[in-house]
Amino acid sequence: MSMVTCIAPVNIAVIKYWGKRNEELILPLNDSISATLSTEQMHAKTTVMVSSNFTKDKLWLNGKEESFENPRLATCIREIRKRAAEAAGQQSEFVKYKVHVCSENNFPTAAGLASSAAGYACLVYSLAKAYGVEGDLTSIARQGSGSACRSLDGGFVRWRMGSKADGKDSIAEQLFDEDHWPEMRVLILVVNDARKKVSSTSGMQLSVETSDLLKHRVENVVPQRTKDMIEALKQKDFHKFAELTIKDSNSFHACALDTYPPAVYMNDTSHAIADFVHRYNKSKGVNKVAYTFDAGPNACLFLLEADVPEVLGSLELVFPPHPKEKSFVRGLPVQ
């Protein structure tokens, strides 16, 4: 028997992945870049047990038994077993043992808070440990949920779209490790933690089918922006980093709105937060805060450690916390 427990972090994209060139293999239309958060407050935790006594693969998600029929889940486990068999020899009995998986998130699932990313990264990593699989795991995690491939490394990570039809070169790699920019912080502003109406998967599929703006984004905007982002990160140029992050978030949401019928993820509070950030930056004469929104209304604000107290104070003046909550803002280090 083999039992492994792992935790995996959330990642927040600053250059967004939106659109696939291959739905089954989960191959993206553009490169993306993300920051990996510290696992302290937001993470997925997975325990995997492989045993000759089990008669069936089983999965519990946040305490509830789920079907293992989910094709993405099935692909991840099949790929891990294939690799394990290649390493241990096709005849190895262990590879054929069934697996029980228990996974939980300590933050809302499917509310645009990258829960599937942390969940699949954690699942694939734990399975790999349990079956003794080594080497690149990002191409397997990618087949669980695209953004999951960026949660296997700390710091700033780039997912390369790749060009091969089989997706072998569509892997994630660390650009800068967690010590590169230790002052970087993220504030997560939970506007609404309900499950999103249009999932990322179906939203982006519809965008690929109907949005001309997405074609323009993929061909003419993201390639140069990716280069500029890498340079801003390398130079630790926060002003530029913020501009690029904000522009890319808005470019992605513009494509979501250009989709027919439109995918509307940001709400009035989200727009009020974006407006706050622009006013704050203008008052400082330089970008001190960046916002980015995924496929949901919750805001992720990037800022430097020294600016956290003042920004938090100003935020809570404009958006007073709910009487039952001490604060709706959670500060997390990037790690």
Segment interacting with ligand DP6, rule: CB under 6 A, options 98-106, 144-152, 187-195, 216-224: 144-152
Q: Report the residue from 116, 138, 207, 245 that binds ligand DP6 according to the rule CB under 6 A.
A: 116
End-to-end CA distance of the chain: 33
- The vertex-24 CA angle with 19 and 28, nearest 5°, equals 30
Is residue 32 at the binding interface for ligand DP6, with CB under 6 A as the rule?
yes
Is residue 294 at the binding interface for ligand DP6, with CB under 6 A as the rule?
yes
Q: How far is Cα of residue 80 from the mean position of the Cα atoms in its chain?
A: 21
Is residue 141 at the binding interface for ligand DP6, with CB under 6 A as the rule?
no
Taking the CA atoms of the chain, what radius of gyration do you get in angstroms? Answer: 20
Torsion of CA 314, 319, 322, 327, to 10 degrees: -30
Is residue 259 at the binding interface for ligand DP6, with CB under 6 A as the rule?
no
DSSP string computed for 11-35? EEEEE----EEETTTTEESS-EEEE
Q: Report the residue from 145, 281, 287, 292 that binds ligand DP6 according to the rule CB under 6 A.
A: 145
Shortest distance in whole angstroms from residue 296 CB to ligand DP6:
8
| Cα–Cα dist 69/78, whole Å | 12
Is residue 201 at the binding interface for ligand DP6, with CB under 6 A as the rule?
yes
Q: Which is nearer to ligand DP6, 300 or 311 (CB)?
A: 300
| Cα–Cα dist 153/303, whole Å | 21
Is residue 157 at the binding interface for ligand DP6, with CB under 6 A as the rule?
no
Contact predicate 150/34, CB 8 Å:
yes
Neighbours of 178 (CB within 10 A): 18
Is residue 156 at the binding interface for ligand DP6, with CB under 6 A as the rule?
no
Q: Which residues contact 217 (CB under 8 A, 6 or more apart)?
A: 18, 30, 251, 252, 255
Shortest distance in whole angstroms from residue 35 CB to ligand DP6:
11
Is residue 19 at the binding interface for ligand DP6, with CB under 6 A as the rule?
no
Shortest distance in whole angstroms from residue 173 CB to ligand DP6:
15
Is residue 31 at the binding interface for ligand DP6, with CB under 6 A as the rule?
no
Shortest distance in whole angstroms from residue 212 CB to ligand DP6:
19
Q: Which is nearer to ligand DP6, 17 or 131 (CB)?
A: 17
Q: Report the residue from 103, 126, 147, 259 that binds ligand DP6 according to the rule CB under 6 A.
A: 147
Is residue 110 at the binding interface for ligand DP6, with CB under 6 A as the rule?
no
Is residue 83 at the binding interface for ligand DP6, with CB under 6 A as the rule?
no
The size of the interface with ligand DP6 (CB under 6 A), counted in residues, is: 15
Nearest to 261 by CA among 211, 195, 201, 199: 211
Is residue 16 at the binding interface for ligand DP6, with CB under 6 A as the rule?
yes
- The vertex-105 CA angle with 99 and 108, nearest 5°, equals 140
Q: Report the residue from 119, 146, 155, 297 that binds ligand DP6 according to the rule CB under 6 A.
A: 146
Supply φ then ψ for residue 188, to 5 degrees. Answer: -100, 115
Q: How far is Cα of residue 70 from the mean position of the Cα atoms in its chain?
A: 20
Shortest distance in whole angstroms from residue 13 CB to ligand DP6:
3
Q: Report the residue from 246, 295, 303, 315 that binds ligand DP6 according to the rule CB under 6 A.
A: 295
Segment interacting with ligand DP6, rule: CB under 6 A, options 141-149, 163-171, 210-218, 234-242: 141-149
Neighbours of 306 (CB within 10 A): 10
Residues that bind ligand DP6 (CB under 6 A): 13, 16-18, 26, 32, 116-117, 145-147, 200-201, 294-295
